[in-house]
């Protein structure tokens, strides 16, 4: 009943680059084959910091989806959608805002950090303070189990878990919960009911996590549970009320080690990127003009790869044999820097070639992307509607 869904969002900020590919998208592509995945354009999130100059969010968002598709995100496996086109996210954020203590938001570390880092923007806004709650709504509305994010987002995940827990605690305690839960257990049949009771006792009295997992697996197998009974039983098993919202877990994405053209991490703000749709000549020019070990002034000066950003790219793109070739050639002045750079240029262009190919049909016919996004939004809306029905009802908003 609670599918193992994966959800992640990305702000539309312009052309994606190799850092996004190696840091995020490769991971999404792996996950889409394993789980039902939802990936969305976080356009409202972009407005929390860039409200003064929003730009054409529709266009930038659609372009970002083309980059996802180019990289290999597959719309027949994953659901791709745009946050603002599923306004239920905002409704859930509103409902959650009623019970979210202000202090929880003020204590999210990114709140003050980002205000300081982005000092050129006035971020003393309601929207910016509430941004982790919007993110929590993004996740909770799909009852997502796993959320692939970078280290910087872990506090937001922890916050979302606390919000879900508080919500279930406040609104999962319907009148007659125990009786309803027991009746639902009975309907599973004597044998399974007894087993579930034993597992619950083991978990509640001895904290036996394996027993809890077995209990959950038992419930997962139940084909004929109604949604309401499912929420009751999963909650009852854990000794709480109805489990209306599911606590998500962070799937920590290893920080991108993708080096940029200057040896710093690749990032738009450092201006050291190669975008996923870069033309081959531009890739060649960008790599050829990269700085190298400053000690190699003349071709005959030996160099030290550890002091050269090109070496960092070889670490990503070259096998051991070629790395040996670089290391020996550089330290003995056996090869020149342009010679050393050529295999990197070739490797990057080889990596980008299929992406260019996959992007082309979408660039030729923008309705293709529009349709993919429209389909994704429709599917997302359907999932969101289920959670919203339960969330509204549990808060007394039962206007059938
Ligand atoms: N806050 C994330 C970022 O800035 C983007 C995001 C918004 C997100 N909602 C999300 C990521 C939900 C994961 C899940 O990178
Ligand atoms: Fe860098 Fe290669 Fe030149 Fe050595 S030979 S300084 S590793 S570009």
**193/210 same-domain check:** yes
At residue 256 the predicted structure's pLDDT band, cuts being 50, 70 and 90, is low
Q: Please give the distance, rounded to the nearest whole angstrom, from the Cα atom of residue 144 to the centre of ligand 1.
A: 13
Contacts of 137 (CB under 8 A, 6+ apart): 89, 90, 92, 93, 96
How many domains does one find in the chain?
3
* CATH number of the structural domain spanning residue 387: 3.40.50.620
Which helix (H) or strand (E) segment holds residue 223: the answer is none
3-state secondary structure of 15: coil
Contact 9, 39 (CB under 8 A): yes
One DSSP character per residue, 58-83 reads HHHHHHHHHHHHHHT--TTTEEEEEG
Q: Is 12 exposed, middle or buried (0-12, 13-18, 19+ CB in 10 A)?
A: buried
In the DSSP assignment, the letter for residue 51 is -
Pocket test for ligand 2, best of 311, 312, 331 (most atoms within 8 A of CB): 311
- DSSP helix/strand/coil, 146: strand
Same-domain check for residues 302 and 219: no
Does 267 map to a domain?
no
374, 325: one domain: no
User: How many whole angstroms from 287 Cα to the centroid of ligand 2?
Assistant: 12
104 and 159 within one domain: yes
Q: What are 159-216's pLDDT values in tens digits?
A: 999 999 999 999 998 888 889 999 999 999 999 999 999 999 999 999 999 999 999 9
Within-domain flag for 271: no
CA distance 29 to 334: 40
Contact 342, 324 (CB under 8 A): no
- Which tens digits make up the pLDDT trace of 301-354? 999 999 999 999 999 999 999 999 999 999 999 999 999 999 999 999 999 999
For residues 289 and 196, state if they share a domain: no
Verify that 45 and 165 share a domain, yes or no.
yes
Angstrom distances, CA of residue 61 to CA of 4, 51, 325, 369: 27, 16, 42, 10
> Ligand 1: does its nearest atom lie under 6 Å from the Cβ of 149?
yes
Instruction: Identify the band that residue 143 occupies on the pLDDT scale cut at 50, 70 and 90.
Output: very high
CA 344 – CA 287 distance, rounded (Å): 8
Q: Which of 92, 149, 253 to mutate to test the pocket of ligand 1 (most atoms within 8 A of CB)?
A: 149
Flag whether 190 is in a domain: yes
Q: Is 139 in the pocket of ligand 1 (CB under 6 A)?
A: yes
The answer on 369 and 357 residing in a single domain is no
Q: Is position 268 within any domain?
A: no
Same domain, 149 and 33: yes
Greatest CA separation for the chain: 85
Is 76 part of a structural domain of the chain? yes
C-alpha–C-alpha distance, residues 21 and 277, integer Å = 12
The answer to whether the beta carbons of residues 156 and 45 sit under 8 Å apart is no
| Within-domain flag for 30 | yes
What pLDDT, on a 0 to 100 scale, did the predictor assign at position 350? 97
Q: Domain range for residue 91?
A: 6-172+249-257+365-394
């Amino acid at each position: 009943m609670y599918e193992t869904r994966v959800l992640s969002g990305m702000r539309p900020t312009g052309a994606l680059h190799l850092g996004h590919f190696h840091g995020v998208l490769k991971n999404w592509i792996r996950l889409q084959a394993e789980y039902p995945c939802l990936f969305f354009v976080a356009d409202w999130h972009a407005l929390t910091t860039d409200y003064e100059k929003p730009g054409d969010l529709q266009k930038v968002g659609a372009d970002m989806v083309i980059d996802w598709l180019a990289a290999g995100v597959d719309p027949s496996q994953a659901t791709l959608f745009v946050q603002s086109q599923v306004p239920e996210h905002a409704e859930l954020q509103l409902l959650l805002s009623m019970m979210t203590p202000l202090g929880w938001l003020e204590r999210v570390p990114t709140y003050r950090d980002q205000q300081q880092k982005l000092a050129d923007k006035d971020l003393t806004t309601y929207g910016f303070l509430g941004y982790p709650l919007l993110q929590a709504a993004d996740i909770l509305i799909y009852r997502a189990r796993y959320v692939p994010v970078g280290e910087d987002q872990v506090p937001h995940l922890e916050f979302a878990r606390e919000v879900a827990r508080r919500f279930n605690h406040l609104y999962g305690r319907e009148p007659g919960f125990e009786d309803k839960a027991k009746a639902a257990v009975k309907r599973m049949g004597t044998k399974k009911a007894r087993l579930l009771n034993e597992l619950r006792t083991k978990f509640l009295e001895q904290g036996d996590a394996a027993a809890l997992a077995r209990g959950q697996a038992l419930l997962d197998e139940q084909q004929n549970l109604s949604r309401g009974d499912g929420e009751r039983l999963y909650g009852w098993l854990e000794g709480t009320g109805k489990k209306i919202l599911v606590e998500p877990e962070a799937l920590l994405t290893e920080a991108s080690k993708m080096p940029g053209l200057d040896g710093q991490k690749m990032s738009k703000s450092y201006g050291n990127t190669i975008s996923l749709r870069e033309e081959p000549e531009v890739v060649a020019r960008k790599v050829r003009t990269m700085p190298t070990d400053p000690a190699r002034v003349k071709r005959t000066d030996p160099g030290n790869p550890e002091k050269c950003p090109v070496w960092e790219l070889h670490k990503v793109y070259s096998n051991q044999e070629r790395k040996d070739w670089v290391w020996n050639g550089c330290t003995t002045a056996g090869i020149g820097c342009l010679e050393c750079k050529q295999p990197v240029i070739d490797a990057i262009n080889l990596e980008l070639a299929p992406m260019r190919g996959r992007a082309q049909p979408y660039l030729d016919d923008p309705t293709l992307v529009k349709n993919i996004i429209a389909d994704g939004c429709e599917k997302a809306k359907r999932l969101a509607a289920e959670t919203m029905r339960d969330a509204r009802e549990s808060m007394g908003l039962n206007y059938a």
